[in-house]
Structure 1
Amino acid sequence: MAAPLADRIRPKSLDDIVGQRHLLGEGKALRKIIESGEIPNMVFYGPSGVGKTTLASYIAARTSRKLCKLNGTTAGTADIREVVSGLGGLDTVNGVLLYLDEIQYFNKKQQQTLLEFIENGSITLIASTTENPYFYVYNAILSRSTVFEFKAVEKEEVERAVRRAFCFLEAERNCAYTLEEGVTAHISQACGGDVRKSMNAVELCALSADRQEDGSFLVTLELARELTQRSAVRYDKEGDEHYDLVSAFQKSMRGSDPDAAVYYLARLLEAGDLPSVCRRLMVCACEDVGLAYPQIIPIVKAAVDAALMVGLPEAQLPLADAVILVSTSPKSNTADVAIGRAMADVRAGKTGQIPRCLQNKHYDGADNPVKGQFYLYPHDYPDRWVPQQYLPDVVKDAHYYEYGMNKNEQASKLYWEKIKNGRDKK
């Protein structure tokens, strides 16, 4: 069985590697390190399909090291020891480069096993991960490694790789491919910065193309679209990409940018993540619009209920309505700030006895010298308000809520100032 095109077309020089110019461009630190031949332990961090494995393979070849590949999802401590057991052979004269893909799946004990061998120089470690290494990689490994962040490859760079891939296939298969206008641009755009995915799309297009009368194979734009549909969605519900996307979604609504909010809504829905959309939308309505327009909460709840009832794809309609409404509504986080302050006091242990007038009992023990609950029923007083202590003594002077500078809250402020200040003067 032939290797995938992405493996067969591995670059032979640093300049052949697409993207990562911030790391591999002329004069950049990682390029200088590789050209020096003295390779430190490194962690490559970034999304899949952006050249991490390709670069590790190139480094091993350039420095004549034996390349050993392990994957954190399937390998274990025994596999590491097996790699080390091969040291001293003719093929390891120049050392061993261990490429450990998806290191985040190694537990702490497994990662600790690596320490002995990278400290004594038995192996050079290049670990890769799609998750933030500062959260998932053991500190002792990080302290002995240099972290390099890889980024999604720019569309123009991916398109260069796509053209090169079609040329490679022409030479490999001794045939010609005729590409309709827009084919390479569409593949590079649709694959979302993932070069490996674009290589897979090229190979699928080549295998599916129809032979023409002149013997060439025609790759149509329609065929390219069919074979790359939905492939641009880079999403892992358990990974950093998920949290980045839902964060951008909520922050766009909070920032009152309906265009950005709808865009991130589209990405989440295209990935089928309806629960995250509904949760963040409700949170944003309560947290960020809040008391500036409190009627929005049941409105958004109704939109969320409708979306969950009809399901995708129709769910996009009520959700788009709600997202735009939240984005364009006035904002107030006064309730969020107030509950945050109150929670801080509660967690700090400021939970004194509830004032006697508020307690839910209508009798006094023998030890209480002053009998009676003394609760003042607000509805028995003008304007349905009467001053009395509601907070425990330990926080009786605490002030948690501040009126926001919006029409709704300012109206409430004026209403209560008129009542309370007028009563105080009497």
Structure 2
Amino acid sequence: MAKDLFAFNGEQLIQKNAPLADRLRPQTLDEFVGQDHILAQGRLLRRSIVADKVGNLLLYGPPGVGKTTLARIIAFNTLSHFSVVNAALAGIKDLKSEIESAIDRLNKFGKRTILFIDEVHRFNTAQQDALLPWVENGTLTLIGATTENPYFEVNKALVSRSRLFRLNSLNSKALHQLLQRALNDKERGYGLKLINLASEAEDHLVDVCNGDARILLNALELAVESTIANQDSSISIDLKIAEDSIQERAVLYDKKGDAHFDTISAFIKSLRGSDPDAALFWLARMLEAGESPRFIFRRMLISAGEDIGLADPNAIVVVESCAAAFDRIGLPEGIYPLAQATLYLAATEKSNSVKAIFKAVQKVKDSHKQNVPSHLKDANRDQEAFGDGIGYRYPHAFSKNWVPQQYLPDTLLNEIFWEPTENGWEGKRRSLLNERRSEQLASLIEVEQQNPLTITSGKADNDLEKWLSRQVLKEEKRLKNLISKLWLGISWKKNHRVLVLAPSSLLWSLKPLRETSEGGVVLAVSEDNHPRLLAEMETLAPMERPTLIDSKVESIRKLEDNLKFEVIGGRIPWRVFSETNFFELWPILTEKCVVNTELSLIISNPCSGPAFSLKESLELYSNKKNPDFSLLSDLICKEEKWLNKQEYKKKFILQLEKLGWNISSEEWTEFVYQKVDASIIKRWLNKGSEYRKIILKNCEEETLIRLQELFQRLDGQIIKQKLIHTKFLAKNNN
């Protein structure tokens, strides 16, 4: 009993004397500040933690952004045993002990173990390999925290079995929020003290801490604890005290870490993007961090070829000259040729047309019979025996030192690899090159005449099974094209939350599921289709499955208040599009959107019915000069009235504009083909069919009999039906 009492007192003393940053660690997700891109309402990681379904995770980010804190919150929320290991202190022996305990726990009590490893990149290869089998078979669920890029520092097998979440430096809003919590919290912060923190002092602390919550709170603690209280017991912290309490902002740079690769990447992309100011900033950052100038020059030489190329062939000369000058001068004066080369590359014209070499390399790998044309072969060795070199035209013997002739192998005639841009040096030569290519092609006519193409055609195959298989392939291609068209133009982010409307199959949501691995996807579809979609979703891992809800207005309204969508899309059945419920949905959906939510919808409706297709086919197959199709003409008018959805499309556009959407639309048509047989005629004309009700309106039963006779004439024939697709693309301005 005495031991427990001493232990309790010890824990209280540790907590009381802990640094402010440790005392203020959030204990719930609601207390967690920042990282909304992975922890906002509806995001994948938040859902996993709340549901206690956390799998293997790697939390990657700079110091002081909440990696360890997030692990502690998971510990508070899980029913599994939670163990903690620090990779800097633990060895193989400690790791084996944790694994043995986890096995024992699982075998005796059926209890899972979550193992949190701080600074997991510090484990050597042997230690990481020792973890792998137990992570793989589910004995351990691994949560690793690291400040280094896991793709470079962590075992590839562990990375492939874990979901990676990147935590970013905290923004100023989150940092100000943390400061206020520290000042107001009476149990863990300074809420029991009267502290006057000047606004300029607060801004300075936030600015200099570099997005690191730990540095921010340590600076605040130092300022408070080292400042003598006023006569009224209040503590005043002005800008001078704040400046003394926090060190000067350091350049976060490690020549072997991510900052090295990220900064040089930003530098090269600034050169490529013709931004001299940004290029100078990243150059200065690298020099201040001690980056090797020779490394920088080496990357600029690559950029001169890759990004400037033949738009300015002098670029590589300038960089090489500046590099030579730097070797003679050295630092500090050598900063001038460094800056000169940087500004020249940033300011000059750009082209990456030299990438044509990769197209040529691929053609070399793919093509066969790449023999050198006879007239280009070396004439000094085999001219007499084989005629090598005969027929070669010496360009310098002709006007302008050029003559059209074949230079590529016979199998690559007319192939074009280099496509110069309109920029700079190559742009001035573009028209001349195209002119010469035209002449070159004309000169090859004789070669083509020597190898004329033989065009043959065979009889059409009328076998029914082959026809059906071709139709299946066509439909599959049509569907893929429509899905691709639906999501074309959406600017995806990994943490987007997406609402897919009326998906007839999971296929319509696969693109959002792939693109939003850290967000979430909700499918809104009528309850009749839920069983089929649930069956399809069984193929996905539990935490990767979309949320399935009913498409009724009430169901959308019941979604969580904090759940907002960045993308809404779907292909709406043409019958649903004209229903009142569809238009009642949009005021509610608009409330569930963030600013700049993107909307993409496709409505596909037939603009001609069976009677139109029947008339067109009978005209084609009829032997009569002037067949009487008055019956069909009347029915076609009814079909068009039934199928025309232009009124509803205008109504939809007007509704969205009133709700604050900026909307545009486009239309295109296509034909689908249908084989006429007894089953399809029955589907159209039997009692209960919608089409039968349409044609019998103001008509007698005799019309139906006559129509059936006309359809039977086309038994076994293929008729075509015209479809019109409308895509609505919109952005929410609210």
Structure 2 length normalisation: TM-score?
0.46
Deviations 1:362-389 (A, max 9, x none): 8536993548898766555543445566
| Other structure's SS at 2:143 match | strand
Name the aligned partner's letter for residue 73 of structure 2: Y
CA contact (8 A) 2:20 2:218 kept: yes
| Runs of 5+ consecutive residues of structure 2 not aligned to the other structure | 1-13, 444-734
Match of 1:302 in 2: 321
2:351 is aligned, of 332, 335, 343, to 332
| Other structure's SS at 2:274 match | coil
Name the aligned partner's letter for residue 42 of structure 1: L
Match of 1:69 in 2: 84
CA distance in 1 between partners of 2:256 and 2:365 (Å): 30
Is 1:54 the counterpart of 2:72? The answer is no
Deviations 1:167-207 (A, max 9, x none): 789968x9887655523322322333232343454456568
CA contact (8 A) 1:11 1:54 kept: yes
CA contact (8 A) 1:166 1:202 kept: no
CA distance in 2 between partners of 1:171 and 1:126 (Å): 29
Q: CA deviation at 1:254?
A: 2.1
CA distance in 2 between partners of 1:171 and 1:407 (Å): 63
CA contact (8 A) 1:355 1:389 kept: no
Q: CA deviation at 1:415?
A: 5.3
Deviations 1:235-288 (A, max 9, x none): 444444444433333233323334444444444344333445433333223222
CA distance in 2 between partners of 1:319 and 1:151 (Å): 32
Name the aligned partner's letter for residue 268 of structure 1: M
* TM-aligned CA distance change 1:33 to 1:349, over 3 Å: closer
Q: CA deviation at 1:56?
A: 0.8
- More deviation, 219-228/122-131: 219-228
CA distance in 2 between partners of 1:356 and 1:71 (Å): 72
Name the aligned partner's letter for residue 348 of structure 2: S
CA distance in 2 between partners of 1:322 and 1:167 (Å): 53
Deviations 1:325-368 (A, max 9, x none): 3333222222x222222333445587755977675xx8536993
CA distance in 1 between partners of 2:184 and 2:327 (Å): 48
* TM-aligned CA distance change 1:160 to 1:310, over 3 Å: farther
Is 1:198 the counterpart of 2:198? The answer is no
Match of 2:308 in 1: 289
Q: CA deviation at 1:7?
A: 3.4
Match of 1:383 in 2: 400
CA distance in 1 between partners of 2:218 and 2:347 (Å): 42
Is 1:10 the counterpart of 2:28? The answer is no
Q: Which has the higher contact order (CA 8 A, sep 6+)?
A: 1
Name the aligned partner's letter for residue 169 of structure 2: A
Q: CA deviation at 1:290?
A: 2.0
Match of 2:38 in 1: 23
Is 1:183 the counterpart of 2:201? The answer is yes
Q: CA deviation at 1:157?
A: 0.9
Match of 2:451 in 1: none
CA distance in 2 between partners of 1:288 and 1:150 (Å): 32
CA contact (8 A) 2:210 2:249 kept: no
Name the aligned partner's letter for residue 21 of structure 1: D
Is 1:80 the counterpart of 2:98? The answer is no
Match of 1:402 in 2: 419
Q: Give aligned pairs, total.
A: 418
Q: CA deviation at 1:78?
A: 3.4
CA contact (8 A) 1:337 1:400 kept: no
CA contact (8 A) 2:61 2:167 kept: yes
CA distance in 2 between partners of 1:422 and 1:353 (Å): 21
- More deviation, 413-422/318-327: 413-422
CA contact (8 A) 2:383 2:390 kept: no
CA distance in 2 between partners of 1:242 and 1:148 (Å): 21
TM alignment of 1:31-46, pairs within 5 A: 31-37=46-52, 39-46=54-61
CA distance in 2 between partners of 1:374 and 1:222 (Å): 88
TM alignment of 1:13-412, pairs within 5 A: 13-26=28-41, 28-37=43-52, 39-63=54-78, 67-72=82-87, 75-86=90-101, 96-104=113-121, 110-111=127-128, 113-118=130-135, 122-130=139-147, 133=150, 141=158, 145-162=162-179, 164=181, 179=197, 181-202=199-220, 220-221=239-240, 224=243, 227-231=246-250, 233-275=251-293, 277-306=296-325, 317-334=336-353, 336-347=354-365, 352=371, 359=378, 363-364=380-381, 368-370=385-387, 378-379=395-396, 381-386=398-403, 398-412=415-429
CA contact (8 A) 2:376 2:388 kept: no
CA contact (8 A) 2:20 2:217 kept: yes
CA distance in 1 between partners of 2:335 and 2:35 (Å): 36
CA contact (8 A) 1:162 1:199 kept: yes
CA distance in 2 between partners of 1:224 and 1:356 (Å): 79
| Other structure's SS at 2:210 match | coil
CA contact (8 A) 2:220 2:245 kept: no
Name the aligned partner's letter for residue 145 of structure 2: S
CA contact (8 A) 1:355 1:390 kept: no
* TM-aligned CA distance change 1:406 to 1:188, over 3 Å: same
CA distance in 2 between partners of 1:416 and 1:147 (Å): 50
- More deviation, 219-228/182-191: 219-228
- More deviation, 148-157/38-47: 38-47
CA contact (8 A) 2:49 2:74 kept: yes
Identity in percent: 36
The structure with more radius of gyration: 2
CA contact (8 A) 1:41 1:145 kept: yes
Q: CA deviation at 1:292?
A: 1.7
Q: CA deviation at 1:323?
A: 3.4
Alignment RMSD (CA, Å): 4.8
CA distance in 1 between partners of 2:162 and 2:395 (Å): 67
| Other structure's SS at 2:429 match | helix
Deviations 1:96-146 (A, max 9, x none): 431123445557764454355456665442122445556766676567654
CA contact (8 A) 2:59 2:164 kept: yes
Q: CA deviation at 1:52?
A: 0.9
CA distance in 2 between partners of 1:116 and 1:419 (Å): 64
CA contact (8 A) 1:177 1:219 kept: no
Q: CA deviation at 1:301?
A: 3.2
Structure 1 length normalisation: TM-score?
0.73
Q: Higher strand proportion, which one?
A: 2
CA contact (8 A) 2:57 2:142 kept: yes
CA distance in 2 between partners of 1:213 and 1:393 (Å): 93
CA contact (8 A) 1:19 1:153 kept: yes
Deviations 1:293-350 (A, max 9, x none): 222222233344555666666655544444343333222222x222222333445587
| Other structure's SS at 2:62 match | coil
Q: CA deviation at 1:421?
A: 8.2
CA distance in 2 between partners of 1:223 and 1:287 (Å): 47
CA distance in 1 between partners of 2:305 and 2:124 (Å): 39
* TM-aligned CA distance change 1:403 to 1:68, over 3 Å: same
